[in-house]
Amino acid sequence: MPGHRAQTTRLNDGITAVDTEYERPLQDASHLIVEGGRAAFVDTGANNSVPLLLDALHQQGLDVTDVDYVFLTHIHLDHAGGAGRLMQKLPNALCVVHPRGIVHMIDPAKLIAGTEAVYGVEETRRMYGDIQPIDASRCVAPDDEQWFDLNGRQLQILYTEGHALHHYCLNDPASRGVFTGDSFGISYRELDTAAGPLIFPTTTPTHFDPDAAHVSVDRIMGCSPEQLYLTHYSRVRDLDRLAADMHAGIDAYTDIALANKDADVPLAGIKPAMSEYLKGCARAHGFKGDDDTLQAILEIDIELNAKGLVSWIQRLKKQGL
Ligand SMILES: [Zn+2]
pLDDT in tens, 214-229: 999 999 999 999 999 9
Which is it for strands 8-10 and 15-19: parallel, antiparallel or unpaired?
A: antiparallel
pTM for this model (two decimals): 0.96
Distance of alpha carbon 40 from alpha carbon 52, whole angstroms = 15
| Same domain? 114 vs 259 | no
| Same domain? 272 vs 154 | no
| Same domain? 121 vs 232 | yes
CA of 132 to the centre of ligand 1 (A): 19
Domain final residue pick, 224, 239, 254? 239
Tell me, rounded to whole angstroms, the distance of Cα 303 from its chain centroid.
16
CA of 61 to the centre of ligand 1 (A): 31
| Same domain? 296 vs 160 | no
Domain final residue pick, 239, 259, 284? 239
CA of 190 to the centre of ligand 1 (A): 20
Query: What is residue 34's three-state secondary structure?
Result: strand
As a 3-state breakdown, the chain gives helix, strand, coil percent values, each rounded to 5, of 45, 20, 35
Give yes or no for a contact between 67 and 39, defined as CB atoms under 8 angstroms apart: yes
| 3 falls within a domain | no
Segments forming the whole domain that contains residue 25: 8-239
Distance of alpha carbon 98 from alpha carbon 103, whole angstroms = 9
Task: Give the residue from 274, 319, 320 showing the smallest Cα distance to 301.
Answer: 274
| 186 falls within a domain | yes
| Same domain? 229 vs 106 | yes
CA of 234 to the centre of ligand 1 (A): 14
| Same domain? 75 vs 138 | yes
pLDDT at 114: 83
First to last CA, the chain: 50
- What is the residue type of 45? G
pLDDT at 217: 98
| Same domain? 205 vs 252 | no
For residue 214, give the DSSP letter.
H
Half-sphere exposure of 169 (CA within 13 A, CB side): 31
Report residues of the chain scoring pLDDT below 50. 1-2
| Same domain? 285 vs 269 | yes
Query: What is residue 70's three-state secondary structure?
Result: strand
Task: Give the residue from 12, 67, 20, 78 showing the smallest Cα distance to 40.
Answer: 67
| Same domain? 142 vs 82 | yes
| Same domain? 75 vs 177 | yes
pLDDT at 1: 46
CA of 249 to the centre of ligand 1 (A): 17
| Same domain? 189 vs 282 | no
Backbone dihedral angles phi then psi of residue 145, each to the nearest 5 degrees: 70, 10
Number of domains in the chain: 2
Domain final residue pick, 219, 239, 259? 239
| Same domain? 21 vs 94 | yes
CA of 58 to the centre of ligand 1 (A): 28
Which residues are paired to 157 by β-bridges? 170
- Give me the DSSP letters along 129-193: -SPPP--GGGEE-PPTT-EEEETTEEEEEEE--SS-TT-EEEEEGGGTEEEEETTT-B--GGG-B
| 1 falls within a domain | no
CA of 118 to the centre of ligand 1 (A): 13
Give yes or no for a contact between 278 and 251, defined as CB atoms under 8 angstroms apart: no
77: CATH: 3.60.15.10
| 189 falls within a domain | yes
pLDDT at 111: 86
